[in-house]
Amino acid sequence: MIIVSEDFPIRVEQRGAVAIWTIDRADRANALSRPTLLAFGKLAREAAQNPSIHAVVVTGAGDKAFCAGADLKERQGMTENDVRVQVALYRTELGPLDRSPKPVVAAINGAALGGGLELALCCDLRVAAAHAQLGLPETSLGILPGAGGTQRLPRVVGEARAKEMILLARRLTADEALAWGLVNRVTPAGKGVVDDAVEWIRPIAEGAPIAQAAALEAIDRSFDTTLELGLELEKVSYDRTVVSEDRREALAAFAEKRKPVFKGR
């Protein structure tokens, strides 16, 4: 079991096939300290190898903040070089989450600002509580979103809307974020965002892991390529599913009029 501490500030639990990772730093609005980034890297690398995890939900403790981005208190004591080293950590330690073969869902329980929204952008899907706010305020602080925000936000909402959010330091409400496609779903009133996210992704938890990983890889790589090459990549991903036991199980289940039981093989 992992004990939550300042050195490892992420609470880990498992509900069935879904791992839930909660940044447990409510007193700092769940900001991303160096140990928090290292913990994400460690968990994402381990989850990629763990067959009992089919999906991951990332959230923050409490209901005020999902994550307020960089830990500005930790940053106060840093030199310019320390800041550069810390920004590089976003890439090395959140990269494994972004590239995770298991679907990752952000359950945005409150404000997702700066690096907090960039963390959510590393996830494949985003579910927001109705009171959540989402924004990249960095340019109003004399910097720019340096944890992937300038690259991942336009891929999700398009160039014009990304420029509007970044240049105007504009915060969106959950409903605005839904309308812009920045979040996939807003949790209905009276429900907790984590419970809602876990319920919503049941088809993933019960689904075929090889097919999901292959689909994620094909979709993620589509942004960096031509259509022709992308279609080749899709074929390579498809071939991985053709040889799987899960594909044969789905066909057998269809013939026998029952639900398939997938084993990730």
Closest distance to ligand COA from the beta carbon of 140 (Å): 8
Single-letter amino acid code for the residue at 206: E
Q: What is the largest CA-CA distance in the chain?
A: 65
Is 138 labeled as catalytic in the residue annotation?
A: yes
118 binds ligand COA (CB under 6 A): no
Q: Does 113 bind ligand COA (CB under 6 A)?
A: yes
Question: Which residue has the CB atom at the shortest distance from ligand COA?
Answer: 114
Candidate ranges 27-35, 37-45, 86-94, 206-214; the one touching ligand COA (CB under 6 A): 27-35
Question: Regarding beta strands 172-173 and 185-186, do their DSSP bridges make them parallel or antiparallel, or are they unpaired?
Answer: unpaired
Question: Per-residue x/- marks for ligand COA, 64-83, CB under 6 A?
Answer: xx--xxxxxx----------
How many residues are listed for the chain in this entry?
A: 265
Residues near 167 by Cβ (< 8 Å), separated by ≥ 6? 139
- Which one from 74, 138, 228, 232 is the annotated catalytic residue? 138
Distance (Å) of CA 9 to CA 34, 35, 123, 176, 182: 10, 7, 19, 31, 27
Nearer to ligand COA, 111 or 186 (CB): 111
The token duo for 153 is 């936000």
Residues 28-57 that bind ligand COA (CB under 6 A): 28-29, 31
Q: Which is nearer to ligand COA, 161 or 171 (CB)?
A: 171
Q: Pick the catalytic residue: 74, 118, 206, 228?
A: 118
In the complex, the smallest distance separating the C-beta of residue 213 from ligand COA, rounded to whole angstroms, is 32
Q: How many other CB atoms are there within 10 angstroms of residue 57's CB atom?
A: 26
Amino acid at 173: T
CB atoms within 10 A of CB 199: 11
Q: Where are the beta strands (DSSP E) in 154-250?
A: 172-173, 185-186
Catalytic residue positions? 118, 138
Q: Which residues are at the interface with ligand COA (CB under 6 A)?
A: 28-29, 31, 64-65, 68-73, 111, 113-114, 137-138, 141
